Structure 1
């Protein structure tokens, strides 16, 4: 829905359905219930997630027109998409394979271009459209040697420049501004705000300016401007909170370099201060392990007294370090409902969301706001609600927070 702070929606990666018809059936059953609770007669946006299979299905003009007709009937619109998970995202073991295929592959490039071909036909006139994507790949697949690491980043960067060139062409033909939004996350090749900014300024811009001036006849200034228009940051609040990042500082550095935020993904992780005594730490560790489940990675980031952060690939791997006396706080990558701050022995990083919403209210950093809690099906049962009620409650919480902060 359009608020004075931007377009607010939710990401449909919360719904299953890997082929288009299955996903569409879930949307038709769920979205009207959400819209009735959240926006009433006013239009409500959709943050559409399409798997590779579903994107191929929706290339069919008949299916796409049927979807467009349904959007019109429902008072719905699509302005952002999630192009991070390529394959199955529910009911299978996803873990690190959420990055498969990564940005070194032709499959990732072609999938993303296919999504943009769909989005350009869906996004309303006068509105920009964005697609979030993997932070190049999963870093632990490329830690064998420095040359492997460098080669991976070079290939991924080249393909993202190909995307930027494609989006320049789409803008010229359609008049619509579309952008690819890179989403840093724990264990991604781009893991933090500073890593994203360094990659953007030291690798993407130099290579992109050279490539676009050669291929499209742009001046260097025009090429850099185009890169900054079509390649942006997907600022997932959960991911930045996990790294104990200082949101105003990250945003100030983005602004200093002229890098745009494509969208804020509004999401929360779990956290806890670690007690001094061993019994207390054991109890906290057991509370964290209640969130251990086999589908997704739940990285742990442990903050030490000196400010250093130690990273673990998943919850079970962190357990041996539970009694590290230098560790004072744990945060784990598990998207929990944004309206919950108190989870019993654990807390959520909801305060980070409130801080980011305040920054958005004061500075209007992007037009795209997307709640992304995709883990309802694997949440502890005492935190589960009917799905339409859960999504509606999250959207209403964000809207109300904007009014009260």
Structure 2
């Protein structure tokens, strides 16, 4: 929906369905009622997530026309897409395969180009479109520094190939579509700072030289185009897990002229450990209910001396829950954003409030997307009606924006 602070929607990766028919069925089932409750009189945007299989189907003219007609009937529009998960994302073991195929592959390039083509056909005139995407690759797939550096260079070359495509799409459709890279714990770009370092170094140096050669542009023009078509997807949950200070990182982005393409409004689990064993045991028991087999739930632990230790997944972290030096855990588990407490646990909702307050004072982007994709694996106590949960999240975000 259009707000005074940009377009606000939710990401459809909360809905199951890896084929287009299945996913469209879920949208038809839930979206009309959500819109009726959240944006009854005005147009409402959709944050569309398509698997590679679904994207192939929707790329067909007949299916695309059918979907556009449905959007018109619903007074809806698509302005952003989630191009991070390529394959199955529900009712299957995802874990680190969420990064596959990564940006070192032709499959990732072709998938992203296909999403861009779909978005170019759906995006309203005079509106920018965004496609959020993975942080290049998964760090543990690369055995050493040399292998990591090779992956970064190859991935950057793939990004340049997509940028070239986006430039051509804009010439054809007159619409700006950009990719927004989403740092995530254990990605090659694990946090905002590593994204900035890659962006100002590899992308704006090596990548700009490559783009200038391919399109016969000046180096400065190539850098300018990269800043337009490659932006940051700021996932608030991911930043909170890394204990980022939003004010500091946002200022760093602005100082270097890096745009935020999309803010994903999301909350992580937070556990504050007590000194006594009884409190620790109670907390650990509560955390265990979130250890499920579908998604990666990276944990970053903070000691009393502010030392950080990362764990690849929650089961690994739980083996260290008795460590008396640990003060706090941040857990990569997207929980409903309207929830501040899940006793005895809490959430990183305060980080959402801080970012939205900053955004209200100085707009950071025009694309705001609530992303809580874990509905199917939430503990029963949190697993309410899916349509009602999405509605409640959107209304919570809208209420805070309008405060």
TM-score, normalised via structure 1 length: 0.98
Residues 1:319 and 2:321 aligned together? no
The equivalences for 1:1-400 within 5 A come to 1-142=1-142, 144-400=143-399
- Tell me the alpha carbon deviations over residues 276-326 of structure 1, each in whole angstroms, 9 at most, x when there is no partner: 122211211111111111100111110122222110011110122212232
SS in 1 for 2:319: helix
User: Comparing 40-49 with 213-222, which one deviates more in the overlay?
Assistant: 213-222
Provide the rounded CA distance (Å) in 1 between the counterparts of 2:57 and 2:317. Answer: 41
Question: CA–CA distance in 2 between the matches of 1:12 and 1:358?
Answer: 25
- 3-state SS of 2:381 partner: helix
* Off by >4 Å, runs of 4+ in structure 1: none
Measure how far apart 1:222 and its partner are: 1.1
**Cα distance in 2 for residues equivalent to 1:334 and 1:402:** 24
d(CA) in 1 for partners of 2:377, 2:53: 24
Q: CA deviation at 1:402?
A: 1.2
Deviation at 1:29, TM superposition (A): 1.0
State the TM-score, normalized to the length of structure 2.
0.99
CA RMSD in angstroms, aligned pairs only? 0.8
Distance 1:308 1:137 in 2: 26
- What per-residue deviation string (whole Å, max 9, x for no partner) do you get for residues 258-277 of structure 1? 10001000000110211112
Question: 1:163-199: per-residue Cα shift (whole Å, max 9, x none)?
Answer: 1111111122222111111000111111011100000
More off after superposition, 63-72 vs 321-330: 321-330
- Partner Cα distance (2:395, 2:318) in 1: 36
Secondary structure in 2 aligned to 1:332? strand
**Aligned-residue offset at 1:88:** 0.5
User: Secondary structure, in 3 states, of the residue corresponding to 1:381?
Assistant: coil
The number of equivalent residue pairs is 403
Rounded Cα–Cα distance in structure 2 between residues aligned with 1:62 and 1:201: 42
Unaligned runs of 5+ in 2: none
Q: Distance in 1 between matches of 2:41 and 2:402?
A: 21
- Cα deviation, 1:366-403, whole Å, max 9, x if unaligned, reads 00000000111111111111111110100000000112
Cα distance in structure 1, aligned partners of 2:344 and 2:165: 49
Render the CA deviation track for 1:29-63: whole Å, top value 9, x for unaligned: 11001001100021110000000000000111000
